[in-house]
Structure 1
Amino acid sequence: MTTSTPVSTPYSRETTAIEVVRGIDLTGRRAVVTGGASGIGVETARALAAAGADVTLAVRNVDAGQQAATDITGTTGNDRILVAPLDLADLASVAAFVRTWDGPLHMLVNNAGIMASPEMRTPQGWEMQFATNHLGHFALATGLRPALAAADGARIVSVSSSAHLRSPVMFEDIHFQQRPYEPWAAYGQSKTANVLFAVEVSRRWADDGILSNALMPGAIRTNLQRYVSEEDLARLRAESGGGTTPSWKNTEQGAATSVLVAASPLLDGVGGRYFEDVQEAGPNQPGTRTGYAPYARDPEAAERLWQVSEEHLRG
């Protein structure tokens, strides 16, 4: 069962991922980090490895993944860093990853993503951001459910964004077939889906000891923004409270909330929540870009999204 008391931590937005795992022993625990070759993914993996976990980097570019694994081993001394191919937009790739996994999985960090891209579609005709950010991770998590259940207390980390405040999941037209494509609306609904997924996992799979929480990592300059203009980046910084003062986090700080959700004992028994700046966040207040939108934690929307996602995977 999930607890209802808000989680309070001793950390702040300046806290790094390594600081979050200080004093935590993850020896014998296994983690998968999607998109673990760059950005906050590699720093999430590094912190988990530093605490002793066996970490698999699930990546599209295996060569980049191998370079990241070598770097992580060099900085942590942990040589139990594996690399496996995974393209979240390709369900055959997801299925292949699931087939090759053996044994329990304690931490699944759904970190990989695509942001505000030009209109692109999968072979099924699905809008690429929703397909990658949500459906691919949904297929991965449901495929790995037996491994997660075998871990006895597994956690799924759902990396969302404050951009979820831009849009609920538009169930009547998820894939922009009736409305004009808009990159940020597409990104926003995919990030709302990440939060709803965490809510529904924690309801459906709690009896298996599996819980999930969602998070906003913060404003971090990474390859995720490869489709985002400098003008959009300036606007995002202003919306995050920076104004003319830089408010970007570095990647080590950006990974801190993911690591909190993945590994901190402060979150034992906690599921279906939303975190930012290494703290549990409350509901969004008008005029701000922090906290969660009520529609992102609506249990009816979460259940509907799960059903729709299953229908997508069945074809």
Structure 2
Amino acid sequence: MKDRIRTTGKRLIRLFGVVLAVTAITFVLVDFLPGNIAYDIAGEEATMEDIEALQKELGLDRPVIIRYGNWLADIAKGDLGKSFRTQEPVLEAILSRLPVTIELMVLSQLFALALAVPLGILSAYKPRTIIDNTLSSIAFAMMSIPVFVMGLVLIYIFAIKLQWLPATGYMPLSDGIQNNLRSFLLPALCIAMVEWVPFMRVLRSDMIATLQENFILMAKSKGLPASHILFRHALRPSSLTLITILGIHMGHLIGGAVIVEIIFALPGIGRLLIGSIFSRDFAMVQGCILFITIAYVGVNFLVDYFYGLVDPRIRISGMG
């Protein structure tokens, strides 16, 4: 028990260091962006005195390390600051857009797993056959298509040609679950059509190895159906790498969600981040990066604990 607590503490310290490093690097990089937000806010008619006064008011006249230290002190108090442009509290802006991004990520991952798991099992059950080769060819073809190209293709097919789904726009849950899901189907499917490939390939590789284990051979000798062996005996121990990839891809998914949110006009955190970068809204950019970083390292922290739920052998070895 003490070893587990000590290990957890070390992991949390390491993750805190990652968050600190990412936010520091981002703070410096944003400071190097060309232009001056004080000029944009003050307008063309502003004098140099007006611009200098605005810079002082925003704290932009201080060295970057001082501004970063002040920002950390405010974060420790739970204050992420306010937008330089709209004066909207950063935390409120992020929380108001958080449900959109979460729903997009959850739906896209569910769609991706719905494709990857059965196809990965089928490829592992029929390795090096025409089925396996066909699925592998399709997977590599899908993986080579960028997310924005996939989005345009889906819009052309389902929104323009078939007119089944809306091309852009967002419908909140308050307008009904059906309308909400209709507005998310194309964006989520756009990400899933690219994301399912590594999931399928990883599961296929691990399951091929699992199917050679002695406990699988024993299950076969008992005359158990193939579907029972694949889903009840082979899937769980073959899912460890899949869970790892799933956690790692959460960060990658946020990057893909940025493009998808812009293409489909979804008011999520990714779209907020891009707009803030273009407008040099330092406070909003830093708040979005902080949130994304914490979410990313938090997911990977939880992945380690899900290992024990998938494979009890890890819990036993960890206790030893």
TM-score by length of 1: 0.24
Higher strand residue share: 1
Higher helix residue share: 2
Higher gyration radius (CA): 2
